A and B are shown apart, each in its own frame.
Chain A
Amino acid sequence: DTGVSQDPRHKITKRGQNVTFRCDPISEHNRLYWYRQTLGQGPEFLTYFQNEAQLEKSRLLSDRFSAERPKGSFSTLEIQRTEQGDSAMYLCASRPRWGARGGETQYFGPGTRLLVL
């Protein structure tokens, strides 16, 4: 399978704990996005990387959230001191480099569903 993969697919944690999610983009896609989706809503943008550089961050990304893409390949999203309001589906997407075929399309992974108790 050469699509976007995310790990874990499901995570249950207690309030106050830290969690980390991983996203592996489609190989050779240099752009990577994180979105959050709550029940009954559309995805909301969190952050965007081009290669290893984090170029855009949403105001939704509070101080408790941090994302990295250290080598320009996989990315991690960490949430510290989780709150019940963090319960959501966290979606990762990747996109080819400018000028490549399908370069305007974001390809989504299956998501990580987080439940904070």
Chain B
Amino acid sequence: SQQGEEDPQALSIQEGENATMNCSYKTSINNLQWYRQNSGRGLVHLILIRSNEREKHSGRLRVTLDTSKKSSSLLITASRAADTASYFCATKETSGSRLTFGEGTQLTVNP
């Protein structure tokens, strides 16, 4: 079963706007990762945040993690049409090696 739940399920914005996606999870985690998937393709790793971190940046990406609320957010600033894709959060629990994915947010950036 999917642990993560992403919100919103779909998001449509104009190029240049910021996009924010949220993820909630249920168990204790070691880290949380965000991936991007273009239609019908494999997943591309975007950013990883550890359970003892609260915020992390990578280029136009900003990720926050609130372990007390068991939630994370991904912010993409100054979006581009090429950012159009599905975005998934994935958690790695404190035990085991698997990733547990949410159902994803479909982001559409209109030129």
B45 and A106: CB pair below 8 A?
A: yes
Among A11-19, A68-76, A108-116, the stretch in contact with B:
A108-116
Q: How large is the interface on A (under 10, 10 to 19, 20 to 34, 35 or more residues)?
A: 20 to 34
* Residue positions of A touching B, CB distance < 8 A: 4, 31, 33, 35, 40-45, 48, 50, 55-56, 58, 89, 91, 93, 95, 104-111, 113
Most buried by A among B40, B42, B98: B42
Q: Which residues of A contact B97 (CB under 8 A)?
A: 31, 33, 48, 50, 55-56, 95
Most buried by A among B92, B98, B103, B104: B98
CB nearest neighbor in B for A43: B101
Size of the chain B interface, CB-CB below 8 angstroms: 24
B98 and A45: CB pair below 8 A?
A: yes
Q: Closest approach, in angstroms, between the C-beta of A95 and any C-beta of chain B?
A: 8
For A113, give its contact among B40, B43, B45, B92 (CB under 8 Å): B40
Main secondary structure of the interface of A (DSSP, over half): strand
B42 and A56: CB pair below 8 A?
A: no
A107 and B102: CB pair below 8 A?
A: no
B48 and A104: CB pair below 8 A?
A: yes
Q: Which residues of B contact A89 (CB under 8 A)?
A: 40
The digit string for B81-101, where 1 denotes a CB below 8 A from any CB of A, is 000000010101000111111
A105 and B98: CB pair below 8 A?
A: no
20 extra A-B contacts, CB within 8 A, seeds A44-B101, A58-B98: A4-B42, A33-B98, A41-B104, A42-B4, A42-B88, A42-B101, A42-B102, A44-B2, A45-B99, A45-B100, A48-B97, A48-B98, A56-B96, A91-B43, A104-B33, A104-B48, A104-B92, A108-B45, A111-B41, A111-B42
Return 16 A-B CB contacts under 8 Å, by A number.
A33-B97, A35-B99, A42-B101, A45-B100, A48-B97, A55-B97, A56-B97, A91-B42, A93-B43, A95-B97, A104-B31, A104-B92, A105-B48, A106-B33, A108-B43, A108-B45
